[in-house]
Structure 1
Amino acid sequence: MRSMRNLALCGSAFWIAISCIVISDASFAAARADQTQAATAASADKPSTDTSWREGLKSGANGPIPVIVVDQFGYPTQSTKVAVIRNPQTGYDIDASFKPGREYQVVDRSTGKIVKSGAPTPWNNGATDTVSGDQVWWFDFSDVKTPGTYAIVDTEHNQRSVEFEIDDHIYRRVLKHAVRMFFYQRAGFEKTEKTAGQSWADRASHLGPGQDPFTRSWLAKDDPSQEKDLRGGWYDAGDYNKYTSWAARNIISLLRAYDQNPAAFGDDFDIPESGNGIPDILDEAKWGLDWLERMQNADGSLLSVQSLADGSPPSAAKGPSFYGPPTTGATLMGAAVFAYASKVFSARAEPELKAYGADLAKRAKEAWTWASKNPSVLYYNNDDGKQPGSQGLAAGQQEMDDAHRLAARFEAAVYLFEITNDAEYAKLVEANFASIVPEWGPSQWDAVGQEALLYYARLPGASDSVKSAIIAKFATRMTQNGDQLPMVIGKNDPYRAPMKDFTWGSNFSKATQARLYELLASYAPDPNLAALAKSAGLGFLNYIHGVNPLGLVYLTNMKAAGAENSANTMYHSWFAYNSRRWSTVSGLNPGPAPGFLVGGPNPYYSLDPCCFAASGAPNFKCYMSGAFSLCRQGFSPPLGQPPAKSYLQFNDPWPANSWAVTEPSTGYQAAYILALAPYVN
């Protein structure tokens, strides 16, 4: 379900600090070996061994109710570090009231040494935050910069936080697991014990008769002449469907994360391609690109969607696969991702990747040409109301409205201009740049458009006046819009991740907000503003990593990476509610694979309307289904909670509709990776 190198070193970003010098092959090889060894060590797992942190805590619907929350992975040495002490006033955890002691300590867990002491500071003079329902205190320990393992301790009440690290490499192993989520989502690819772990090994899925290599057209199911080989790609979310536009967006985000900080991505993420000399994130992006190439027709157009059958594990899925027709939106996103990926792969030293980049450029131009000749070809999948006969083709609605099609055309033109220097693309961009982000933006809803604008502003062929206008408008709106930096400066959120709207996919919104602040840090007119923006962005990642009212890391099963209290279940066809082995992390059961970003608190969650249907109505008792028993469970939380507590660790199917709260998505994941990458060393 969905809702929503033989290197030329002069001028290279990696070597700019040492200008242009000559080094021997042996010296370079030794230096690279040292860097690789250091990166490998930093990305190696360091499992949490903190089994006693929950002692003395009350339990609730989501597990232990913490009183002191921190980023469970930890903090870079020079970063802002704030522990949040919480006293619930409304919500399911109201009985776990807590008044902090007068002194808090930062304790080195390896030595027992107290490295800092001080009093916590009440947030907003002791007011209760309406978004979380909590009264909160802050304990700032930003001056603790020595690498090590620590905990925040309330000595008066004998309470402490989960252990965490202070180190400049702490997010590297987190990034590895986040990227590996895409490997677990690969369709048509075997997950061996070596690559996936014994707990999540599975045969290649969707390769049988009538499945991906033999995908039939939804519009001509009985016509074998229209079969296409559409194997590969990623399951989009908790279901197994694949969507062209969304896959393209995810690949752009993955490549952008690499492009901005290549040093963050090693060749050691334990995917099958690891060790081939190419950063694993590029290997993963290529897996997605190869599927998009198969989705491209000979005339340049791209098919819109591919519908796959469910099963647990994925290899158990036996139903047929179908594809939807080409659309303008899908083709424009194909043009965009092929053009941007062409730039990235063509810059590599490997001859095969340079050739791959050249082919992608050709495909981008062909897609652009088709979309230009066919500017309004639409198809609404899974919606008989708008597209008769489409019900059942995939789940999420992938079709775009006019504004999003314009944004896709704009973005494609940006990347095509970069790789071709053709003035016609620049002309389209500069005629439309003022309308890509609405006047009230940028916000969590239009970060993608803002990213494309700023990307254009750094291209050498763009006009100086347009560059200046884009950057000035962005900086002004981020610093003066009351829903952006003023919320950070005003300390509007006691959990240090303020955003205007809490909705379905709130963790995705947290990640996109983080990205906006990272962009502001890059384009800020002065160093102080840049530092403030960088700190603000990290606050949103701290939230995802545990600085939230649940004290929960919103990534699944991350104990191996150092998080003691992470999401133990999610809505996913593989890790299904009725699977004893994979449903939930418990005892000897491994639960879902690590590193999936779940949707997050959703104050708009509801049970299916059939739970409340009147006697005699067609959907009474959910069509007299045995599933009606789920309606009686109440589900509070997520119902009846402050927005930030509208979360439950559950994966129940219809009519409980847990996908509105806990379902992951490759879109959420790519946004999180893009937000995290700048903080990874």
Structure 2
Amino acid sequence: AAAAMLRLDPTIATARTIAEGFAWSTWDGQLGGATPGEGVIAAGAWHYLMAAGGDAAVTTAIETGVAAVIVDGAFAEAGAYGGMFGGPGNGWDWSWGSNRAQSMYGANLMMAAHFGILGGHAEADVVDLAERHLHYMLGANPLSMVYLTNMAAYGGEHSSFHIYHAWFSYTGADGDHGNASYDGKPAGVDEPLYPYFTGDDQTSTDGPAPGIVPGGPNFYYSGGYELPSRTYPAYAYRDFSVGCDWDGATCQASAWEITEPSDGYQGPFVLLASFFMSR
């Protein structure tokens, strides 16, 4: 917040004191733990670098932290499907809202490239890695999911037709049995692989509004419904919208842990996509 205030008004002395006293080079002591999907400290770094009258030593410290956490961190995990920290038996970035992290990886890499912070890599390679995270969101992932809703009319195959949301998956106060207008694939949409998982075959008149980002794979999903895999984090996703499905003791479905959308997921994806609109 201090860095953002400093960018808006470089004369605010308290904002400058706080922003310039921050432990940027060690990412506030989180080196080794923070990943390229981190958004709070990263946002502060970008604000400071865009502020007028930045201190040269502070700028260098920020560049050191960005190179270590964001650039080198992303390259350390780079894989065929836009890798993030985690692996078999280890969710790490693949937790609740993992699509936010996936988009932040790419967006942070593009911001680093914008400021020339490359961590010893070529700029073209940094941009290419960022684009891989965008492609992950648009279908280059283990489940071939386009992690946007109802994209058939825009050329998107295998997109999401179920999100847990009061507007699209509820009928009145019932969040367990869908919505005839907005929850499920519209009859007029040709999607040969639908349903993507047995039983998720609901249809609707219109489907959900297009272009909404669902939460994403969640290795730590606590519900009782079956997922494609609970061993490999990128497979811990299911295109469904059942809310609770109470069994007398606990919610069995808990789709909100996987498909609920959020402004916090949408914003990073829009930012990432915006970098490639003119490329």
Structure 1 length as normaliser, TM-score?
A: 0.33
Mapping for residues 323-334 of structure 1, pairs under 5 Å: none
Give the conservation status (yes or no) of the 8 Å contact 2:96–2:217.
yes
Q: Secondary structure at the match of 1:662?
A: coil
Deviations 1:123-162 (A, max 9, x none): xxxxxxxxxxxxxxxxxxxxxxxxxxxxxxxxxxxxxxxx
Find the counterpart in structure 2 of residue 580 from structure 1.
180
Find the counterpart in structure 1 of residue 51 from structure 2.
459
2:179 partner letter? S
Find the counterpart in structure 1 of residue 271 from structure 2.
674
Instruction: Measure how far apart 1:417 and its partner are.
Output: 2.3
Give the conservation status (yes or no) of the 8 Å contact 2:218–2:237.
yes
- Name the CA distance, whole Å, in 2 between partners of 1:514 and 1:479: 10
Give the conservation status (yes or no) of the 8 Å contact 2:36–2:74.
no
Give the conservation status (yes or no) of the 8 Å contact 2:7–2:50.
no
Pairing 1:657–2:250 present? no
1:454 partner letter? W
Give the conservation status (yes or no) of the 8 Å contact 2:100–2:215.
yes
Find the counterpart in structure 1 of residue 221 from structure 2.
605
2:80 partner letter? P
- Name the CA distance, whole Å, in 2 between partners of 1:503 and 1:469: 30
Instruction: Measure how far apart 1:591 and its partner are.
Output: 1.3
1:417 partner letter? L
Taking a change above 3 Å as real, the CA distance of residues 474 and 561 of structure 1, as seen in their structure-2 partners, is same
Find the counterpart in structure 2 of residue 415 from structure 1.
4
Which is greater in Rg?
Answer: 1
Deviations 1:69-114 (A, max 9, x none): xxxxxxxxxxxxxxxxxxxxxxxxxxxxxxxxxxxxxxxxxxxxxx
Instruction: Measure how far apart 1:639 and its partner are.
Output: 6.0
Find the counterpart in structure 2 of residue 495 from structure 1.
81
Deviations 1:580-602 (A, max 9, x none): 12111231521111011011111
Which of 54, 65, 74 is matched with 1:484 structurally? Answer: 74
Instruction: Measure how far apart 1:479 and its partner are.
Output: 4.7
Give the conservation status (yes or no) of the 8 Å contact 1:507–1:544.
yes
Mapping for residues 295-374 of structure 1, pairs under 5 Å: none
- Name the CA distance, whole Å, in 2 between partners of 1:640 and 1:457: 41
Mapping for residues 23-172 of structure 1, pairs under 5 Å: none
Give the conservation status (yes or no) of the 8 Å contact 1:569–1:583.
yes
More helix by share: 1
Instruction: Measure how far apart 1:642 and its partner are.
Output: 2.5
- Name the CA distance, whole Å, in 2 between partners of 1:436 and 1:513: 16
Taking a change above 3 Å as real, the CA distance of residues 436 and 508 of structure 1, as seen in their structure-2 partners, is same
- Name the CA distance, whole Å, in 2 between partners of 1:531 and 1:470: 21
Pairing 1:636–2:233 present? no
Taking a change above 3 Å as real, the CA distance of residues 642 and 436 of structure 1, as seen in their structure-2 partners, is closer
2:275 partner letter? P
- Name the CA distance, whole Å, in 2 between partners of 1:592 and 1:504: 21
Give the conservation status (yes or no) of the 8 Å contact 2:77–2:83.
no
Mapping for residues 126-525 of structure 1, pairs under 5 Å: 411=1, 413-420=2-9, 421-434=11-24, 437=28, 438-440=30-32, 442-444=34-36, 446-480=38-72, 483-488=73-78, 493-500=79-86, 501=92, 502-524=94-116
- Name the CA distance, whole Å, in 2 between partners of 1:503 and 1:454: 25
Instruction: Measure how far apart 1:537 and its partner are.
Output: 0.6
Q: Secondary structure at the match of 1:606?
A: coil
Deviations 1:146-184 (A, max 9, x none): xxxxxxxxxxxxxxxxxxxxxxxxxxxxxxxxxxxxxxx
1:648 partner letter? R
- Structure scoring higher RCO (CA < 8 A, sep ≥ 6) equals 2
Over aligned residues, Cα RMSD in angstroms?
A: 2.3
Find the counterpart in structure 2 of residue 541 from structure 1.
134
1:586 partner letter? P
Which of 542, 566, 576 is matched with 2:159 structurally? Answer: 566
User: Structure 1 vs Structure 2: percent identity of aligned residues?
Assistant: 28
User: Which sections of structure 1, spanning at least 5 residues, go unmatched?
Assistant: 1-410, 608-633
Instruction: Measure how far apart 1:422 and its partner are.
Output: 2.5
Instruction: Measure how far apart 1:450 and its partner are.
Output: 1.6
1:418 partner letter? R
- Name the CA distance, whole Å, in 2 between partners of 1:642 and 1:528: 29
Deviations 1:635-670 (A, max 9, x none): 322564522111111111112111111111111001
Taking a change above 3 Å as real, the CA distance of residues 661 and 461 of structure 1, as seen in their structure-2 partners, is same
Find the counterpart in structure 2 of residue 593 from structure 1.
209
Taking a change above 3 Å as real, the CA distance of residues 478 and 592 of structure 1, as seen in their structure-2 partners, is closer
Taking a change above 3 Å as real, the CA distance of residues 470 and 525 of structure 1, as seen in their structure-2 partners, is closer
Instruction: Measure how far apart 1:419 and its partner are.
Output: 3.0
1:592 partner letter? P
Q: Secondary structure at the match of 2:148?
A: strand
- Name the CA distance, whole Å, in 2 between partners of 1:572 and 1:487: 32
Pairing 1:532–2:125 present? yes
Give the conservation status (yes or no) of the 8 Å contact 1:499–1:513.
no
- Name the CA distance, whole Å, in 2 between partners of 1:673 and 1:508: 11
Moved more, 432-441 or 442-451: 432-441
Give the conservation status (yes or no) of the 8 Å contact 1:457–1:471.
no
Structure 2 length as normaliser, TM-score?
A: 0.77
- Name the CA distance, whole Å, in 2 between partners of 1:517 and 1:582: 35
Taking a change above 3 Å as real, the CA distance of residues 432 and 579 of structure 1, as seen in their structure-2 partners, is same
Find the counterpart in structure 2 of residue 373 from structure 1.
none
Give the conservation status (yes or no) of the 8 Å contact 1:571–1:658.
yes
User: Which sections of structure 2, spanning at least 5 residues, go unmatched?
Assistant: 87-91, 170-176, 189-204, 245-250
Instruction: Measure how far apart 1:677 and its partner are.
Output: 1.0
Instruction: Measure how far apart 1:559 and its partner are.
Output: 1.2
Find the counterpart in structure 2 of residue 364 from structure 1.
none
Instruction: Measure how far apart 1:464 and its partner are.
Output: 1.3
2:82 partner letter? R
1:506 partner letter? S
Taking a change above 3 Å as real, the CA distance of residues 658 and 496 of structure 1, as seen in their structure-2 partners, is same
More strand by share: 1
- Name the CA distance, whole Å, in 2 between partners of 1:425 and 1:478: 24
- Name the CA distance, whole Å, in 2 between partners of 1:416 and 1:498: 31
- Name the CA distance, whole Å, in 1 between partners of 2:187 and 2:235: 26
Instruction: Measure how far apart 1:525 and its partner are.
Output: 5.3
Tell me how many residue pairs correspond in the alignment: 238
